[in-house]
Structure 1
């Protein structure tokens, strides 16, 4: 298999789908000639022309609103919001139009739309380039929400998202763009350095939306994580020596509750890790579901490790989101409880 970074895997997924399906179109701010601020669409305009991959005005509501119309018409738009922090002007279009189109039309129209967004911190982007807004989308009926943690999953899940008949929010952790994140560090070494790539199948392959991955087997405690925090959780388990079973959710909605419940029933303990703010984060929903489905198997309180309940702190961002030390303490306290 060829080796790819996450940027390359995402680009390859769009390339594969544009070659297979002429209804797939890619657009957004700077995604055409320039190839995107993170270079995820680099070369697509040159290959497929300016009607298949093109730049849009700086208007997120216009980008998503236009894409909703395209999707209703029969196209499959895959649009990029330059940073997840910029999506709020388009939130009404996503919630009120894209998510509801199938229901409002009694199935007459569907909305095969993918909204791609770089998410999370770790690049010193400050408050307007570092947010993790996934919980805002998981609350909305009619949307699917995907957060890959590695290039293999990124390509397979993005192809599945483009092929899906309904709208998908595709959140890409920007700390993982250039290769596997070294989760053992609480501070960045070189955030933009090129790390070792990963094996990714060539050509078309899709991973099912709604299926989690057990990335580390264990018996002492279950860790539920997604995106960058999967690597942080793996580092914490390695550093503490705790026999943790780590589950990469991959898709938040639909959620693979069966895999989660089976793991917690086995270990009797659960730690939930995400980068977003703690209060009303997706971890709260996970904790409620684990409690509802695994109450009689639990031997300790469910723990959550997340970002602070503050505006995103530019100068303290590497303290803001969980690192191996914080996750490791939560694992130890949960196992000892």
Structure 2
């Protein structure tokens, strides 16, 4: 076991994958000798050469188009989009090419070796162009997998699994945890499952569900709830597409209540899909309406960032309301 932060875990996973398989290549804006804006690819160009870790022009559509081509030829490209906010110029390539490549050929060819890494989320005073959480756009797209790690161990294990996955993967990394999340990481080669949620805390009164950086928010809210004798079960969804319906349903059947927390705006967010699915399966077991604690339906504000965020206090208040309904 080695203690490291989330950024180091991402770097180590890339290093290990590149060492194991010469088809793995990393590229994006400034990812070469500079190591990217967050230094996630530091040292990889020096170790593996400019033909396997290199800079691209500042064109997100071009980065993903190039990645699609490489993956179609049997490579395993790990393409970095510098901020999730900048992924929109590549939207057509991702949803109309990457996601549909296998389907349109009747499984004769695919881009299954492709991973798109991108830092998402707020909490770093980045304003409206460096703080967005755009996962909901992509969970609507059949043919993709969408993953979000919460800590260094999850980042390493899920990224290794993503690179080996036969489907194209969007890998959203919570940027505010890059250096803030530190933990013990098993340096074995075992990847983590790509389609299963994890129950990180058992409880009996309410199920709390989130992913990525919001898991820390849930844990703080659960501590406050515990002081009110409210027992919280906490689940990290990890995989947003596909998502682990069975684990979530099993938990809600036990607790009778559900709160979903995400940083993205409320309207059209992943929480709505989860709530609809849960009420379909658990309607007669629910003791209260399903709660959603999410970002606001506004552009991400700089001056009012704290008011915008779905923090532990908003979550705690929602827990109390739900349990006392």
Q: TM-score, normalized by length of structure 2?
A: 0.98
**Structure 2: how far apart are the matches of 1:203 and 1:325?**
38
Aligned mate of 2:265, from 261, 277, 289: 277
Aligned mate of 1:306, from 294, 297, 303: 294
Counterparts of residues 29-108 of structure 1 (less than 5 Å): 29-108=29-108
Aligned mate of 1:251, from 239, 245, 261: 239
**Structure 2: how far apart are the matches of 1:122 and 1:179?**
11
Q: Is the 8 A contact 1:35 1:42 kept in 2?
A: yes
Q: Is the 8 A contact 2:36 2:42 kept in 1?
A: yes
Q: Is the 8 A contact 1:78 1:115 kept in 2?
A: yes
Who is 1:193 aligned against? none
Off by >4 Å, runs of 4+ in structure 1: none
**Structure 2: how far apart are the matches of 1:92 and 1:115?**
14
Cα RMSD (Å): 0.7
Who is 1:6 aligned against? 6
**Structure 1: how far apart are the matches of 2:109 and 2:246?**
31
Who is 1:25 aligned against? 25
- Determine whether 1:222 maps to 2:223: no
- Determine whether 1:329 maps to 2:322: no
**Structure 1: how far apart are the matches of 2:109 and 2:178?**
34
**Structure 2: how far apart are the matches of 1:319 and 1:96?**
36
**Structure 1: how far apart are the matches of 2:21 and 2:283?**
47
**Structure 2: how far apart are the matches of 1:51 and 1:292?**
51
Aligned mate of 1:265, from 250, 253, 257: 253
Q: Is the 8 A contact 2:196 2:237 kept in 1?
A: yes
Who is 1:234 aligned against? 219
Farther off after superposition, 135-144 or 236-245: 236-245
Q: TM-score, normalized by length of structure 1?
A: 0.94
Q: Is the 8 A contact 1:221 1:264 kept in 2?
A: yes
**Structure 2: how far apart are the matches of 1:127 and 1:329?**
27
Who is 1:147 aligned against? 148
Aligned partner of residue 127 in structure 1, secondary structure = helix
Deviation of the 1:203 alpha carbon: 4.1
Q: Is the 8 A contact 1:179 1:198 kept in 2?
A: no
Q: Is the 8 A contact 1:28 1:81 kept in 2?
A: yes
User: Which sections of structure 1, spanning at least 5 residues, go unmatched?
Assistant: 181-196
Deviation of the 1:246 alpha carbon: 0.6
Aligned partner of residue 331 in structure 1, secondary structure = helix
**Structure 1: how far apart are the matches of 2:180 and 2:199?**
20
Equivalenced residues, count = 321
Who is 1:121 aligned against? 122
Q: Is the 8 A contact 1:16 1:203 kept in 2?
A: no
User: Which sections of structure 2, spanning at least 5 residues, go unmatched?
Assistant: none
